Amino acid sequence: MGEQEPESGGGAARARKPAKTAKAARPARKAAAAAKKADAAVKAPPAKIVAPKPPKDESRTALVRRARRIDRELAEVYPYAHPELDFENPFQLLVATVLSAQTTDLRVNQTTPALFEKYPTPEDLAAAVPEEVEEILRPCGFFRAKTKSVMGLSKALVEEFDGEVPGRLEDLVKLPGVGRKTAFVVLGNAFGRPGITVDTHFQRLVRRWQWTDETDPVKIEAAVGALFPKSDWTMLSHHVIFHGRRICHARKPACGACPIAPLCPAYGEGETDPEKARKLLKYEKGGFPGQRLKPPQSYLDAGGKPAPPLGAAG
Q: Which of the residues are catalytic?
A: 181, 199
Type of residue at 165: V
Whether 159 and 174 have beta carbons less than 8 Å apart is answered as no
Type of residue at 270: G
Measured between alpha carbons, how far is 33 from 224 in angstroms, rounded to an integer?
A: 28
Residue-wise over 278-299: b if at least 16 C-beta within 10 A, else e? bebbebbeeeebbbbbebeeeb
Type of residue at 280: L
Measured between alpha carbons, how far is 218 from 198 in angstroms, rounded to an integer?
A: 8
How far from each other are the two terminal CA atoms of the chain, in whole angstroms? 69
Measured between alpha carbons, how far is 310 from 79 in angstroms, rounded to an integer?
A: 28
Measured between alpha carbons, how far is 152 from 308 in angstroms, rounded to an integer?
A: 30
Measured between alpha carbons, how far is 44 from 74 in angstroms, rounded to an integer?
A: 15
Measured between alpha carbons, how far is 268 from 51 in angstroms, rounded to an integer?
A: 9
For residue 40, the 8-state DSSP code is T
Whether 109 and 86 have beta carbons less than 8 Å apart is answered as yes
Whether 201 and 181 have beta carbons less than 8 Å apart is answered as no
Measured between alpha carbons, how far is 108 from 118 in angstroms, rounded to an integer?
A: 16
